[in-house]
């Protein structure tokens, strides 16, 4: 938000000289710039609500209005004469500009200056022209969509997506138009890429059924978009455009390990005070007559008896991307891996508790625990691996 405010402030500073220049120009000079809509806006601001209207701004408004309308209507007519259907959107825009301009100045009319001289301007009836341009623009988009859908039915997914864009463009003009919505649905169906995510075991270990089922529950449906749909279960009769293969390269669970060790924590601590003596054995005094004493440092020790349990599961895979129509490998991914670790420390001690390190203190009171099963650790490793695989799929740029 701070950056946005700073940017807006900077833009305002940059525009200020230009706006000041415009506001300081005479009405006649404003018209000469050719920026007629700016002239109209400035003139409206100067005239609206004024009982005695400045003749120069009245004249500037009339000139700019007629010239702007004349320019836009001439441009529209020139495009009509070219008789090219792709021009209808531009023609519509020109007619709409005329309509907006006329609506903006209409509240001022009839307009006369303070001397009673009336401004003579010509308002143009553009409503029918706008409706004609709307219909023709929509017809152009519709016919383009039909041509593109014909290409899409021959297997061109990108043509289907362009057809959908053409049909969506009609929404700017008409909510209900022929069979637009049915054609949109057809374009969506023809344009979507169906992507099957599979799990393949390339390790030298057995892929347990529970682990395969868990890996198949990849949250790839979160990646669905208008033009991509991901599947983790193969659907009969559906032709898949791409396959994403999760190749399991390593499935490993380490043996259960238990180790005991004994070590000593030593720490220097402050244990009270001792007096400072002079050469005669007397307690020394400071300038205020107080006894001088200093902290007494002592070494304290504690012997720690630690029991450590360890077990780990590791999953490693490679994510490959295939074009199913030609069997071509699009990407051979680098390996990704995830671990699940069970580490448990249980400690007791003898000696001075003050000597214990923070790590030693954190392990006091713990007890040895039952080792987790291989299945539990593998499922935990799979939970860690799935978002890594999902992220790898999400970043692939080959799935069009």
Interatomic CA distance for residues 187 and 400, integer angstroms? 15
Q: What is the pLDDT of residue 104?
A: 95
Contact status, residue 270 vs residue 297, Cβ threshold 8 Å? yes
Give the pLDDT confidence score for residue 24 in this predicted structure.
56
| pLDDT value, residue 6 | 52
Q: What is the pLDDT of residue 289?
A: 79
Query: What pLDDT digit, counting tens, does each position of 161-200 carry?
Result: 999 999 999 999 999 999 999 999 999 999 999 999 999 9
pLDDT for position 11: 44
Q: What is the per-residue pLDDT across 4-49, written as a single tens digit (0 to 9) for each?
A: 445 445 544 544 444 444 455 777 888 888 899 999 999 999 999 9
Over residues 118-142, the pLDDT tens digits come to 999 999 999 999 999 999 999 999 9
Max CA-CA distance within the chain?
A: 121
Q: Which residue has the higher pLDDT, 281 or 249?
A: 249
- pLDDT (tens digit per residue) in 281-336: 777 877 887 877 878 888 989 999 999 999 999 999 999 999 988 878 887 777 89
Taking the C-alpha atoms of residue 241 and residue 300, their distance in angstroms, rounded to an integer, is 71
Asked whether the beta carbons of 315 and 344 are under 8 A apart, the reply is: no
Q: What is the pLDDT of residues 210-236, one digit of tens each?
A: 999 999 999 999 999 999 999 999 999
pLDDT value of residue 330: 81
pLDDT tens for 140-155 read 999 999 999 999 999 9
Determine which of 65-69, 111-115, 328-332 has the lowest per-residue pLDDT on average.
Answer: 328-332
The predicted structure's pLDDT at residue 3: 52
């Amino acid at each position: 938000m701070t950056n946005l405010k700073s940017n807006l402030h900077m833009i305002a500073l940059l525009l200020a000289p230009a706006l000041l220049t415009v506001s300081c120009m005479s009405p006649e000079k404003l018209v000469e710039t050719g920026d007629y809509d700016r002239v109209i806006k400035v003139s409206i601001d100067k005239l609206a609500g004024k009982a005695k209207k400045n003749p120069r701004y009245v004249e500037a408004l009339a000139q700019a209005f007629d010239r702007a309308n004349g320019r836009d209507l001439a441009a529209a007519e020139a495009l009509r004469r070219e008789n090219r259907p792709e021009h209808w959107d531009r023609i519509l825009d020109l007619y709409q500009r005329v309509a907006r301009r006329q609506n903006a100045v209409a509240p001022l009319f009839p307009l006369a200056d303070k001397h009673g001289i009336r401004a003579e301007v010509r308002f143009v009836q553009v409503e029918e022209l706008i409706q004609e341009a709307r219909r023709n623009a929509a017809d152009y988009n519709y016919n383009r969509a039909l041509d593109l859908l014909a290409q899409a039915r021959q297997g061109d997914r990108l043509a289907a997506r362009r057809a959908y864009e053409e049909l969506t463009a009609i929404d700017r003009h008409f909510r209900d138009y022929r069979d637009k919505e049915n054609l949109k649905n057809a374009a969506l169906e023809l344009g979507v890429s169906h992507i099957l995510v599979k799990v393949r075991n390339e390790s030298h270990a057995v892929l347990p059924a529970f682990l395969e089922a868990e890996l198949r529950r990849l949250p790839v449906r979160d990646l669905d978009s208008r033009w991509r749909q991901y599947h983790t279960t193969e659907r009969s009769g559906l032709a898949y455009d791409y396959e994403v293969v999760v190749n399991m390269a390593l499935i490993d669970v380490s043996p259960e390990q238990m180790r005991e060790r004994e070590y000593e924590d030593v720490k220097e601590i402050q244990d009270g005070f001792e007096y400072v003596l002079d050469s005669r054995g007397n307690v020394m005094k400071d300038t205020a007559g107080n006894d001088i004493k200093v902290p007494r440092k002592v070494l304290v020790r504690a012997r720690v008896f630690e029991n450590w349990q360890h077990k780990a599961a590791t999953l490693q895979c490679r994510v490959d991307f295939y074009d199913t129509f030609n069997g071509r490998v699009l990407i051979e991914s680098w390996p990704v891996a995830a671990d699940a670790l069970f580490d448990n420390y249980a400690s007791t001690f003898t000696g001075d508790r003050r000597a214990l390190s923070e790590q030693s203190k954190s392990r006091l009171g713990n007890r040895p625990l039952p080792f987790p099963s291989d299945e539990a650790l593998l499922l935990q490793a799979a939970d860690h691996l799935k978002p890594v695989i999902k992220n790898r799929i999400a970043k692939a740029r080959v799935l069009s």
